[in-house]
Structure formats: C-alpha cells, structure tokens
C-alpha cells in the first residue's frame, strides 16, 4: 500500500469506477443532511405517481412524496444501517476470532462449533430469527444483522491469526516478553489490513443487500423512515403505472453495492 498517487489510482479501472460511484452516492447523502428538494415525508395528493420531470427528478410516489428526496433520505438510512452492522459484526467477530485463534484449546473448539452451527443459517435467516426475538425496528435490525455477520468475520480473523501466530517475528516478540493482548492488537491484527479491508467492503455490501431484503419483508426500518429496501417494497405494485418510482431506489441500491464492490476489487488487486 505504498506510494498512493492519483495517477496510479486512475490507472486501475476498478478503483476509478468505485471511487466515482461511491463518491456520487456519498455526496448525495451528505447534501441530504443540509438540503433536500422536498420534505421526504410531505404528502401531496395532487402530485401522486408522477414520472420523471424537472420538478421531481425521480418522480413522486403513491402519496405524492418526492422520490428523489426520499431516495436521498433512504440512502442515508441504508448506509447507516450497513455501517452499524459492519461495526458490530466486524468488531465482535474480530475480537472473538483473535482471542480464540490466539489461545486455541477448549475455548476455541467450543466457539468454533457454535460458529459452525451459526454458519448453517444463511445470514438473512439468522437476522430473521434475531429480529423475531428483539422485535421490529431499525436498532433491532442493526443488532440482528450485526450478530448475523459475526461468524464470518470471526472465521476470517481466526484463520489469519492462526497463520500469523507461527511467523518468526511473532516468535521474536514472544521471546521479548510482549504481553498477549499487546501481541494480538499491536503485532498480529495490524498485519491483516488488506484482508480486513476487503472483507469489510464485502461485509458492507452484504449488509446493504440483507437490509434491503429484510426491509422488503417488512421487518426492517419502519415508516416514515423508509430505507431503500422498504421503498422498493412499497413501490412494487406501481411498477406498471410509474416505473420510475420502482427503478430509482432500486438503481441506487445497485450503484451503492457496485461502488463498494469495485473499490474492494481494486484494493484486492492493488500492488
């Protein structure tokens, strides 16, 4: 990861495309904090289900609300849920994986059994179980998805820790009497930057997709704070009359995931 220059980044089509797409989405979200064309929850019975126009860049929905403003707001909700999910999932997963991988033994065996068992659940199902335990709401959703993502991060980190554990420099540090915690957090984990960066980006994408899926099923964010997934679920029945209402939030989800996927691919190829 040395000599990061703009010229070198622009040479890689994946990084360029990733930065461009992610940049546009982020700008849209940030601008949304200060200004939106309309109030996203303001209904206007006269302007129901309009197509794309100069007044409404992405048309309006079945209650006459401006879809562009709602997409700006919804992207923010989706992004925050995804960030929260990854923080919980990667944070907890890293700690569990690092500790079990480093100490090994009985603790490791048991934890790995439980994680294997949790792995048997596709993450959307696991999140559904947890949502049904905690109830419906966006905080519950973050916690559920976060927990659902713990096993995969724990596995990755554990594998990496096992790999690093036996390297010469770790042996050296051990001989010098470095404490276990310092060993894990100062000597081992920083070596996994590359692996972690791409797993976080992949996890992020999975979080966006899982959130969209759960919201679509109606167990995600609740109105009026609609995420992109929820908007799609509401919009589906108007596909024929007002395609823009369905396509716009859908395309924004695709772009969001695509941007991060390209960034991840670019980072993976970076030499």
For binding to other proteins (CB under 8 A), which residues are involved? 113-114, 116-118, 120-122, 124-125, 128-133, 136, 205, 209, 212-213, 216-219, 229, 232-233, 236, 239-240, 243, 246, 250, 253-255, 257-258, 261-262, 265
Provide, rounded to whole angstroms, the least separation between the CB of residue 189 and other proteins: 26
Cis peptide before 224 (omega within 30 of 0): yes
Provide, rounded to whole angstroms, the least separation between the CB of residue 112 and other proteins: 11
Looking at the Cβ atoms of 35 and 240, the one nearer to other proteins is: 240
- Interatomic CA distance for residues 35 and 14, integer angstroms: 31
Looking at the Cβ atoms of 87 and 239, the one nearer to other proteins is: 239
Provide, rounded to whole angstroms, the least separation between the CB of residue 128 and other proteins: 7
Q: Are 227 and 50 in contact (CB under 8 A)?
A: no
Looking at the Cβ atoms of 24 and 254, the one nearer to other proteins is: 254
Sequence length of the chain is 271
Torsion angle defined by CA atoms of residues 83, 84, 89 and 92, in that order, rounded to the nearest 10 degrees: 120
What does the block give as tokens for 74? Answer: 């919804």
Provide, rounded to whole angstroms, the least separation between the CB of residue 117 and other proteins: 4
Looking at the Cβ atoms of 164 and 212, the one nearer to other proteins is: 212
What does the block give as tokens for 160? Answer: 């990496």
Looking at the Cβ atoms of 184 and 263, the one nearer to other proteins is: 263
Roughly how many angstroms between the first and final C-alpha of the chain, as a whole number? 7
- Interatomic CA distance for residues 125 and 185, integer angstroms: 32
- Interatomic CA distance for residues 59 and 61, integer angstroms: 7
Provide, rounded to whole angstroms, the least separation between the CB of residue 38 and other proteins: 24
């Amino acid at each position: 990861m040395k000599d990061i220059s703009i010229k070198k980044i622009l040479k890689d089509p994946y990084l360029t495309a990733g930065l461009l797409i992610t940049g546009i989405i982020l700008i849209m979200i940030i601008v949304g904090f200060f200004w939106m064309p309309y109030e996203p929850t303001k209904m206007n019975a006269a302007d129901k289900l309009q197509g794309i126009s100069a007044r409404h860049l992405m048309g309006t929905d079945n209650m006459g609300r401006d879809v562009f403003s709602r997409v700006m707001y919804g992207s923010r909700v989706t992004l925050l849920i995804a960030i929260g999910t990854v923080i919980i999932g990667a944070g907890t997963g890293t700690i569990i994986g690092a500790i079990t991988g480093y100490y090994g033994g009985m603790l490791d065996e048991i934890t790995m059994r439980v994680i294997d068992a949790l792995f048997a659940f596709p993450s959307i199902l696991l999140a559904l179980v947890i949502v049904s335990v905690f109830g419906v709401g966006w905080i519950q959703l973050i916690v559920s998805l976060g927990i659902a993502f713990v096993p995969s991060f724990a596995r990755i980190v554990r594998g990496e820790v096992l790999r690093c554990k036996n390297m010469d420099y770790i042996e050296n540090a051990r001989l010098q009497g470095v404490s276990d915690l310092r060993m894990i957090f100062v000597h081992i984990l920083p070596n996994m930057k590359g692996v972690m960066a791409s797993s976080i980006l992949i996890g992020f994408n999975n979080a966006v997709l899982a959130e969209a899926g759960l919201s679509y099923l109606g167990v995600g964010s609740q109105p009026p704070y609609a995420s992109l997934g929820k908007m799609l679920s509401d919009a589906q029945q108007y596909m024929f009359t007002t395609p823009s209402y369905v396509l716009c939030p859908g395309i924004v989800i695709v772009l969001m995931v695509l941007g991060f996927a390209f960034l991840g691919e670019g980072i993976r190829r970076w030499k």
